[in-house]
Structure 1
Amino acid sequence: MSGALLAISDLHVAHQENRDIVERLRPHSADDWLLVAGDVGELVADIEWALRLLSQRFAKVVWAPGNHELWTPSKDPVQLRGEQRYRHLVELCRQLGVSTPEDPYPVWQGETTAVTVAPLFVLYDYSFLPSGATTKEQALAQAYSEGIVCADEFLLHPDPYPTRDEWCRHRLAVTEQRLAERDPTLPTVLVNHFPLVRHPTEVLRYPVFAQWCGTEHTADWHLRFDAAAVVYGHLHIPRTTWQDGVRFEEVSVGYPREWRRRATRPGQLRQILPAPRG
């Protein structure tokens, strides 16, 4: 019997309660794959600890970076920034046997279907503009006036690119090319930290925060690249939604203050394939 394709994100293992959740994560079978859609942690040592543990338990682990992995916190001994930090994490993953957006896309083989699993690294470009804003500058000014500003503005450095949106544009071009070169006979499971479409951000408590949540340029990727499902995190609002007949799964754990309010037990792995009934 083949295993399942499972997913989780936003583990935030700097919080001890979340670290305990990761300690308890187990596959359902020896053949299960795990998709980790970013925000494992902020410190390189924490990221390594979590991915090493998971890679020892699951048949295959696939990682897409979140914004928190790309931060350069002052207390992290690894003070790499931007592209260099990302590349450092890619090499770390390779040492652990974890697939990254820079590696050949692995093919998951189920009992009746096979899919190309595509971990993505595309950032955001401030194009999810809040109501009343027509430019990035206006959107940022509105966020600062409301006191809702993502910590990326201070901790996520885009080096060597001049801005995060410039880095995003580069990542979009690289990723589109890689997706176009995949085996066109297989459907995909797209794994990205940020939602590929804007729709999921409509339920944010603070709508102005959407500008740090993705880019309009990926709005049709689930159709263009034949997605059987799209996996993402970042919003800390775990749920299933549908767009153009494609299933979108937000699979985040989130912070303890968030998951304590939920009725469901935190840290439950979401089954992506085989598609759960209902």
Structure 2
Amino acid sequence: MRLFALSDLHLGHRANREAIAEIAARPDDWLILAGDVAEKNEHIRFAFEHFAEKFAQLVWVPGNHELWTRPGTATVRGVARYEELIALCREYGVLTPEDDYPVIELESGTVRICPLFMLYDYSFRPPEIAFEDAIDWARQSGVLCSDEFFLSPHPYASRTEWCHARYAATRTRLDTLTGNYPTVLVNHWPLREDVASTPRIPRFSVWCGTRLTDDWHWRYRAKAVISGHIHIPSSRCVDGVAFEEVSFGYPKQWQGRRPHPDMAVREVLAS
């Protein structure tokens, strides 16, 4: 069995829905969907139905776009929206951050897959920029993430508070795992600031993660760390650990640049 990963499908775009039809079936293998599959449930269902026919098992973590709730159109928001997404996943047998972390046998060895849901706390910023100035600092360069309008943290007071609650609960869970298995950590937002670089809009970093997870790759014996969000696909090694950014991206980002959509599907820990 092999493990593959893909994120940021943004299936609200018709071109992306058409493109995933060209992704090859791998019926014996697992697929990680590392967030930003779509904003609407109908398109998330489309993805689950489509990929369930091509892969043996799907694993999903939320991105910011799944959590968006536009004013006047959504009936649930914040934590309730996340819980709605978990329920949707369970209709299709898709594994989530709320399920047991599965231990699987890959061709390259045994690993534990750990789907995570961490947000961001604006800490990916220069040390001289105070927390309360982070958003204004980003806006000075013309950058403002739409999360500030559409990603409700309800009932938490802020996204930072929600992030820190998720951090505390997830760390407790990881700390109490039994069995000394190497892990594959999966989170939509990068777990380290040095792999969250967006050269064209560098100050977008404040919406890209939290420094609280900077050491998780070695603390939790990771063999690979999977993320998306920044739309810059890459493979790099940090402290001997493979960090894989697996974004598909918006049509304007891949059309004419990628010979075939299937090339966006990344094999994790290829033997």
Which TM-score tier does this pair reach, normalised by the shorter chain? over 0.9
Task: Name the residue aligned to 2:226.
Answer: 231
Task: Name the residue aligned to 1:93.
Answer: 89
Task: Name the residue aligned to 1:55.
Answer: 52
CA offsets 1:91-140 (integer angstroms, 9 cap, x no match): 110110000000001122124521100100000000001x4742222111
Count of residue pairs brought into register by the alignment: 270
Q: Would the aligned equivalents of 1:55 and 1:97 in 2 still touch at CA under 8 Å?
A: no
Query: Which amino acid in 1 is paired with 2:48?
Result: L
Task: Name the residue aligned to 1:38.
Answer: 35
CA distance in 2, matches of 1:83, 1:190: 22
TM (norm. structure 2) is 0.94
* Residue 264 of structure 1: how far off its partner (Å): 4.6
2:143 paired residue among 139, 144, 148 = 148
Task: Name the residue aligned to 2:80.
Answer: 84
Q: 4+ residue runs of structure 1 moved beyond 4 angstroms?
A: none
SS class of match (1:40)? coil
Residue 209 (1) aligns with residue 207 (2): no
Q: Would the aligned equivalents of 1:253 and 1:259 in 2 still touch at CA under 8 Å?
A: yes
Residue segments in structure 1 that go unaligned for 5+ positions in a row: none
* Residue 34 of structure 1: how far off its partner (Å): 0.2
Task: Name the residue aligned to 1:15.
Answer: 13
Residue 116 (1) aligns with residue 112 (2): yes
Task: Name the residue aligned to 1:195.
Answer: 190
Q: Would the aligned equivalents of 2:198 and 2:204 in 1 still touch at CA under 8 Å?
A: no
Task: Name the residue aligned to 2:22.
Answer: 24
CA distance in 1, matches of 2:79, 2:100: 19
Residue segments in structure 2 that go unaligned for 5+ positions in a row: none
Q: Would the aligned equivalents of 2:7 and 2:37 in 1 still touch at CA under 8 Å?
A: yes
SS class of match (1:91)? helix
* Residue 173 of structure 1: how far off its partner (Å): 0.7
* Residue 22 of structure 1: how far off its partner (Å): 2.1
* Residue 74 of structure 1: how far off its partner (Å): 4.7
Q: Would the aligned equivalents of 1:232 and 1:250 in 2 still touch at CA under 8 Å?
A: yes
Bigger mean CA offset, 133-142 vs 242-251: 133-142
CA distance in 1, matches of 2:258, 2:109: 34
* Residue 39 of structure 1: how far off its partner (Å): 0.2
CA offsets 1:180-239 (integer angstroms, 9 cap, x no match): 222332100001001101112234311110000000000000000000101100010001
Percent pairwise identity:
47
CA distance in 2, matches of 1:204, 1:198: 13
Q: Would the aligned equivalents of 1:133 and 1:139 in 2 still touch at CA under 8 Å?
A: no
CA distance in 2, matches of 1:232, 1:46: 21
Aligned 1:180-191 pairs, distance under 5 A: 180-191=175-186
CA distance in 2, matches of 1:210, 1:112: 33
Query: Which amino acid in 1 is paired with 2:7?
Result: S
SS class of match (1:10)? coil
Aligned 1:143-182 pairs, distance under 5 A: 143-182=138-177
Root-mean-square deviation (CA, aligned residues, Å) is 1.7
Task: Name the residue aligned to 1:4.
Answer: 2
Q: Relative to structure 1, is the Cα distance of residues 73 and 63 closer, same or farther in structure 2, using a 3 angstrom cutoff?
A: same
Q: Relative to structure 1, is the Cα distance of residues 145 and 203 closer, same or farther in structure 2, using a 3 angstrom cutoff?
A: closer
Task: Name the residue aligned to 2:235.
Answer: 240
1:68 paired residue among 60, 65, 69 = 65
CA distance in 2, matches of 1:158, 1:18: 28
CA distance in 2, matches of 1:251, 1:67: 16
SS class of match (2:172)? helix
